[in-house]
Amino acid sequence: MSPIVNFVDMRKSFGDVEILKGVTFSVERGEVVAIIGQSGSGKSTALRCIDRLETIQGGELWVCGHALHEDKVDLKALRRDVGIVFQSYNLFPHLTAEENVALAPRLVAGKSHSEAGEIAATMLSKVGLADKRASYPEQLSGGQQQRVAIARSLAMQPKLMLFDEVTSALDPKLTGEVLRVMEQLASDGMTMILVTHEMKFARNVADQVVYMRDGRIHEMGGPEILVSPKTPELADFVAHEQ
């Protein structure tokens, strides 16, 4: 089977500034890939390209069979296949947790109110929030809001989940709540790509770790590279992220 995501010499610029300078790597179905690196290394930009939130200027990018380097891309089909969760939860404040999760199945997938409600209930249960279905975002902690955001993406039954620094705004206790949900998703076989500073999570859960530096992949391998880095740059990065 072909990889679910395949970067081939991918390049991305903002104006005259090249952010991604020939990125090549692939992700197999069922893999968990952690992308790490300093701020400005290009890791979040690479992730955003996977959902076509950013277009690329060179190379190829294949995601769930979609050729994102081509001019015409069926974005609706792509975003049925790919779920993305950001640092900010982006929940609708006037909707309950259940209504937030049920919205996309109703509006995008054409589910009835009752079908969408059942999907939402299932997904909220999956992230440990079955008892918060009727709660509004302002009544939830940051960790709970982030778990609702994850449930909302899962409701569309994506083939691939992307996580962009989803715990960076949370305190350690709430971070643990969210990481446990992500760890369960990984054990269930969900293909996941995450930009993260959580080195322990990357060591314990990731199948592949990608260390980016200055818009390039500087070092890549299994989670053991976080214990025994081959380059002084990764060794220094890991030492400061502990």
What pLDDT tens digit does each residue of the chain (242 aa) get?
689 999 999 999 999 999 999 999 999 999 999 999 998 899 999 999 999 999 999 999 999 999 999 989 999 899 889 999 988 888 999 999 999 999 989 888 888 999 999 999 999 999 999 999 999 999 999 999 999 999 999 998 999 999 999 888 788 888 888 899 999 999 999 999 999 998 989 999 999 999 999 999 999 999 999 999 999 999 999 988 76
What domains does the chain contain, in order, with CATH numbers? 5-241 (3.40.50.300)
Q: How open is the CA angle 206-90-48, to the nearest 5 degrees?
A: 50
Distance of CA 168 to CAs 105, 134, 174, 186, Å? 28, 26, 10, 20
Write down the pLDDT at residue 242. Answer: 64
pLDDT score at 107: 84
Output the CA–CA distances (angstroms, integers) from residue 110 to 19, 87, 97, 103, 154, in the order listed.
Answer: 38, 28, 19, 10, 16
Both structure tokens of 123: 């997904």
Angle 30-50-173 from CA coordinates, rounded to 5°: 65
**189 — phi, psi (to 5°)?**
100, 10
Q: Token pair of 62, please?
A: 């294949």
Q: Which helix (H) or strand (E) holds 45?
A: helix 43-50
In this structure, the number of other CB atoms found within 10 A of the CB of residue 218 comes to 18
For the chain, the 3-state helix, strand and coil shares in percent, each to the nearest 5, are 40, 25, 35
Give the C-alpha separation, 12 to 94, whole Å: 37
- Would you state the structure tokens that stand for residue 114, as one six-digit string? 């009752």
100 to 89, 149, 183: CA distances (angstroms): 11, 8, 23
